[in-house]
Amino acid sequence: MRAIVVLCAMIAVLSAFSFADEMKMMPKGVINPSSVEWGACPPNLPAGCKVAVMEGDPSKAGEEYTMRAWWPDGYKIMPHFHPTTENVTVISGTFHVGMGDKFDDSNAQAMAAGSFASMPATMHHYAWAEGETVVQVNGIGPFAMTYVNPADDPSMKK
């Protein structure tokens, strides 16, 4: 059991580093929507999304960060959790979020543009996009994610 806990902790730390390596960092100052520079999805997220770091470094422990994620219609993230609190504001589209260990679209809440959710550290949740969706995620690093079912982690399928 102890080996599993250590392995999960290592995966969470490594996913934070790979996440930071993939994200596009924005310059300081005012950023208009048309000037957001989107980068590729990190490998621990399903292909097809785009990510931009608006401020801070999500991979650094104790550092505040703000990032945005663009998801195409139907994009899904299977049940997972984070080591720190995740705060999500919907910028556009409809973001669906459900709590629990199993993906169940009948047991989720639709969040329209302007909606806000805060998921405490280790809360198991899943999400998907209806229409093109942009969410803003902010918190205190490190931002990392661990899938409830390790087989759902796209970085493990290579």
Q: β-pairing, 24-25 with 116-119?
A: unpaired
SS3 of 49, please? coil
Residue type, 118: S
Q: Using DSSP, how many helices (H) and how many strands (E) does the chain show?
A: 1, 10
Give the class (CATH, top level) of 2-156.
mainly beta
Domain segments of the chain as ranges: 2-156
pLDDT digits (tens, 9 = 90+) for 108-143: 999 999 999 999 999 999 999 999 999 999 999 999
Please report how many Cα atoms fall inside a 13 Å half-sphere around the Cα of residue 67, on the Cβ side: 32
CA distances (Å), 41 to each of 96, 104, 111, in order? 19, 24, 22
pLDDT digits (tens, 9 = 90+) for 22-49: 555 666 678 888 889 999 989 999 999 9
Q: Is the pTM of this model over 0.85?
A: no
